[in-house]
Chains A and B, each alone.
Chain A
Amino acid sequence: MATLSSSKHCCSSSSVYSSSSSFGFHQPQRNIPFPVVSQKRLGSKSVSWQSKCSPSSNVILMQDGALATKRAATDEAPLSKLKEGLLSVTPPEEHKQLINIDANAGKSTVSITVVGASGDLAKKKIFPALFALYYEDCLPEDLDVKFFLSKTYNDLLPSKWSDNLLLLLVSALYYLWENCSEKMEQFLNRCFYHSGQYDSQQNFVELDKKLKEHEAGRVANRLFYLSIPPNIFVDAVKCASLSASAANGWTRVIVEKPFGRDSESSAALTRALKQYLAEDQIFRIDHYLGKELVENLSVLRFSNLIFEPLWSRQYIRNVQLIFSEDFGTEGRGGYFDHYGIIRDIMQNHLLQILALFAMETPVSLDAEDIRNEKVKVLRSMKPLRIDDVVIGQYKSHTKGGVSYPGYTDDKTVPKDSLTPTFAAAALFIDNARWDGVPFLMKAGKALHNRRAEIRVQFRHVPGNLYNRNFGTDLDRATNELVIRVQPDEAIYLKINNKVPGLGMRLDRSNLNLLYKARYSKEIPDAYERLLLDAVEGERRLFIRSDELDAAWSLFTPVLKELEEKKIIPEYYPYGSRGPVGAHYLAARYNVKWGDIGVDE
């Protein structure tokens, strides 16, 4: 799968979209250490950062591993160059590590440019993730980062505002780590700011110059993170690709959702991106795929003997994918209102988890093999029918003297908006493994709790000897496997068990694995993993164009129908358990939502 070289310039003529909205570049630059040179310069520490963060480092800890593929994919471009650099001076004890990173040999750098540095996502997720990677030595010590905002903002704000802002952001992490302030300073010293217009090739040429300065003639890889509104994706990509592509390394672009609103707009976006980028340069992020327990899903299935035999319609009665937030749009519903919960959560996050859950065993753990299997699942699915969807919208609610606003009370939302803030849907995969098994999805805002989980309900035991202990509804006492993605990551399996004591009473207990109790280390944020993967060229957790197409073709008809027929959402109070319609939908398929059961 590892295709060589992506430093590709596309010539094209796309219409220049101009807008006055501001954008900024965030452009940390990092040098990947490579054995010979960096060792002399930086000492062995620069070598060891790899071991902490990428699998190959595990040689030291426990196993080699898993990540060999990752490594291979990592530094595609410099491959040809590196061999020369390497041979010589390595001290024997470093030998193993050297082998693992030999793809890095030669002088190479990675520059990470965050386009749209002033955005909410950049502040909340990207910078903290970058700093965390830097702190954990996943980024090298000599990383350079500059941080800028566009002129418009600069005019409005005190001159040092931008730097202060970043300082503010990372200082939140201060207490988590020792000697953090020192690291933070180093990190900030490596942040650079470049201001410009997203559609100005001129500004990108300037950026290119600046990057070249820092790259200083080494093999230069460039990662652009587009943290900007979707309507300016293409312009930014055009400029970046034409004017600021790496000359001798790879150039990759991370794109955030939304990837269109439906099949047509998504296909148009993909087409436009592909004018300037090759498929393997596009990294469509779905941060749910970077969550620890979603990552662990495949490990659970494929590295344990006990789950795979059960993983089919023969034993599994239904699967539930549940996402809930305990807050509403809170004054920021402008973007959301245009998309709605189905596009915002279901069509991407939940559907991706479903595909991972249901896929056949891939040939290998390589990105293309996994994504091939995921596409097969998506393409085997029945398009969603409108009868299999329930939508809802939260209304205001007063509880304990506090009053919570309804969705349409949000100033950025039209008063007559029908946009769903809640949806439940039943999906089916028409293949040999899953025929007839309902996959239920549920996603909502302003519900009573915040959680994301996968629930697998098993069938009842055929001819159960203990039937008398269960009453009439055998399905109420079945096994259930729960993978709680957030909060408090956990895996548990509900089993029937004898209540200790004389007599024979059964109840359900959990075989439990609570991550907090088992693993004291903090679990990295999904963005850290995804950024690192993008730098290393590991595409497993990013969405390929054909996956995206398949996902949209499942949801587009129903989305259109909902909008054309102006289906009124069922209203539910802020902070409630959502519309009861979800129960009736579940009941139609003989399912009971596991998260609202009494025993949770």
Chain B
Amino acid sequence: MNDEELRNMISRTLTCRIDKRENCEDKMAQFLKRCFYHSGQYNSEEHFLELDSKLKEKEGGRLSNRLFYLSIPPNIFVDVVRCASTKASSTSGWTRVIVEKPFGRDSESSNELTTSLKQYLTEDQIFRIDHYLGKELVENLSVLRFSNLVFEPLWSRNYIRNVQLIFSEDFGTEGRGGYFDNYGIIRDIMQNHLLQILALFAMETPVSLDAEDIRNEKVKVLRSMRLLQLEDVIVGQYKGHSKGGKSYPGYTDDPMVPKNSITPTFAAAALFINNARWDGVPFLMKAGKALHTRRAEIRVQFRHVPGNLYKRNFGTDLDKATNELVLRVQPDEAIYLKINNKVPGLGMRLDRSDLNLLYKARYPREIPDAYERLLLDAVEGERRLFIRSDELDAAWALFTPLLKELEEKKIAPELYPYGSRGPVGAHYLAAKHNVRWGDLAGDE
């Protein structure tokens, strides 16, 4: 490949989607002119030296900052970082490295990776990306909490009965299960994306919006959490399913996946934060592939009204008609608050209605992709949305014992049909903690 071929390849992936701005063609041409191809071995210091001289050429003696984005398999992270750091660091400006998950498979491997990276990089050079933190509604979570008076007073065990973090995909591994099979859904989604959202959701008010202040608060949440217990987790794996004449493959039908794999493609877990604000409030997580919908959302179920004057209108289960705040991260970003409301008309019937904010209706502009935000932040040195080493350690510490136990005991996942709502075990797990999944309620 040369520069030209690279530019051809890139140009095929580019769209002018952002607000369909004018002179997109020009911009694209300018952009492509600035793209260069450099070929080499990931572990060859010599090749990185060549890269360095090429970069210097372009930099033309100006103050130069360098950002490396490592879009490579984890086993070669360290080699590349070593070469880049020793041979291609910027001499006059900053050098930063963006790393993608997986950050290890457990506490030990993660630790090892961090230790190796730190041989060549300082903490503030490492940008561990979790693209969920770049999602618009996750960004908005703190804004909602801290810039509105009406939410913060409710944000504790006094008023919140449970919190649900839900992620689902409506497709399976689709022939690319090789990487996934080594990790499984808990490592792939829960331990990072959902746990990060949980930490943001539950943290105390930070001193400021600075990255270090926010990450300090997040670490405190993670470190206050109870270790995940095996009985508070259920795992599942999708199986083949035929529907309407079409047949969908099971997970182990993926040619990249071993036939006897027990890697979970679905998991549900109940977590607890043992601090003054959240003691006893279940945080339920659920993540799965090959389910009936694609969505990511945060659901906050409030307690029932004590001494409710209208309780006769609600039947016997007061918890069925509580307020619920839903932040839908994807698709169709939205915030809505379920409230009890009188059905208009004579008589007094209550039902639940939504106080709604649908982003599509309110904001006609396209919402930027999480990666745009995160790349920009890395360039600007804004670390708020990146994961610090101690956060990562704390996250692994929560999940590692459980993951080991699952593997050692070879816990068989509950099989569920492709395109279904997932294993029913999730309901029993929820029931055990007196929770009802909000996304599978009748009124959604």
Contact = CB atoms under 8 A, between A and B. Distances in A.
Given A459-B149, A500-B333, A509-B357, A305 B302 contact: yes
Interface in B343-367: 343-351, 353-357, 359, 362-363, 365, 367
A121 interface: no
Contacts of B310: 66, 299, 302-303, 365
B258 interface: no
B289 to A, nearest CB: 27
A54 B146 contact: no
Given A303-B310, A502-B376, A315 B344 contact: no
Interface in A108-158: 133, 136, 138
B144 A497 contact: yes
A478 to B, nearest CB: 6
Contact of B349 (A58, A304, A310, A493): A58
Contacts of A489: 344
Nearest to B362: A509
A495 interface: yes
B140 A498 contact: yes
A496 B305 contact: no
A478 B148 CA distance: 7
Nearest to B358: A512
Contacts of B393: none
A305 B322 contact: yes
Interface in A268-294: 292
B153 interface: yes
A460 B149 contact: yes
Contact of A497 (B143, B303, B314): B143
A57 to B, nearest CB: 7
Contact of A511 (B312, B342, B355): B355
A500 B362 CA distance: 10
B266 to A, nearest CB: 30
Nearest to B361: A512
A521 B344 CA distance: 8
A511 B357 contact: yes
A129 B372 CA distance: 59
A67 B345 contact: no
A216 to B, nearest CB: 28
B150 interface: yes
B342 A62 contact: no
B314 A63 contact: yes
B157 interface: no
A496 B143 contact: yes
B323 interface: yes
B159 to A, nearest CB: 6
Contacts of B146: 461, 464-466
Interface stretch (B122-130, B205-213, B242-250): B205-213
Interface residues of B, number: 65
Interface residues of A, number: 78
A500 B313 contact: no
A502 B343 CA distance: 41
Contact of B342 (A299, A492, A493, A495): A299
Contacts of B323: 304-306
B303 A524 contact: no
Contacts of A506: 143, 147
B309 interface: yes
Given A496-B143, A501-B368, A513 B345 contact: no
A507 to B, nearest CB: 9
A68 B311 CA distance: 12
B339 interface: yes
A512 B348 contact: no
B438 to A, nearest CB: 15
B304 interface: yes
B315 interface: yes
B336 interface: yes
Given A66-B310, A513-B356, A519-B343, A466 B209 contact: yes
B308 A303 contact: yes
B368 A502 contact: yes
Contacts of B208: 465
A295 B353 CA distance: 16
B152 interface: yes
The residue among B136, B148, B150 with the most chain A CB atoms within 10 A of its own CB is B150
A531 B351 CA distance: 24
A515 interface: yes
Given A500-B363, A512-B356, A513-B353, A465 B205 contact: yes
Contact of A55 (B144, B154, B314, B347): B347
Contact of A54 (B149, B346, B357): B346
B148 A500 contact: no
A461 B322 CA distance: 25
B143 A466 contact: yes
Interface in A38-83: 52-55, 57-58, 61-68, 70
A309 B347 CA distance: 27
B169 interface: no
A300 interface: yes
A365 B348 CA distance: 11
A458 B149 contact: yes
A231 interface: no
A55 B149 contact: no
Contact of B159 (A58, A70, A305, A500): A305
A543 interface: no
Contact of A502 (B206, B322, B372): B372
Contacts of A138: 346
Contacts of B142: 465
Contacts of B333: 500
Interface in B371-401: 372-373, 376
A65 B308 CA distance: 13
A529 B345 CA distance: 8
A361 interface: yes
B340 A532 contact: no
A491 interface: yes
A461 B149 contact: yes
B335 interface: yes
A63 B315 contact: yes
Contact of B150 (A477, A495, A499, A513): A495
A300 B346 CA distance: 17
Contact of B348 (A67, A465, A477, A492): A67
Contact of A305 (B136, B206, B303, B314): B303
A492 B355 contact: yes
A304 B321 CA distance: 9
B420 to A, nearest CB: 29
A365 B309 contact: yes
Contacts of A54: 346-347
Contact of A66 (B139, B143, B307, B348): B348
Nearest to B304: A305
A517 B126 CA distance: 49
A379 B349 CA distance: 32
Nearest to A478: B149
A303 B142 CA distance: 27
A532 B349 contact: no
B39 interface: no
A510 B307 CA distance: 30
B151 to A, nearest CB: 8
Contacts of B348: 55, 58, 65-67, 70, 299
Interface of A: 52-55, 57-58, 61-68, 70, 133, 136, 138, 292, 295-296, 298-300, 302-306, 308-310, 315, 361-362, 364-365, 458-461, 463-466, 469-470, 477-479, 489, 491-493, 495-502, 504, 506, 509-513, 515, 518-519, 521, 523-524, 528-529, 532
Interface of B: 136, 139-140, 142-144, 146-150, 152-154, 159, 205-206, 208-209, 302-305, 307-310, 312-315, 321-323, 333, 335-337, 339-351, 353-357, 359, 362-363, 365, 367-368, 372-373, 376
Given A300-B340, A302-B310, A500-B368, 8 more contacts: A63-B315, A136-B346, A302-B309, A304-B305, A306-B339, A461-B148, A479-B149, A518-B354
6 contacts: A53-B346, A67-B348, A299-B341, A304-B340, A461-B147, A495-B357
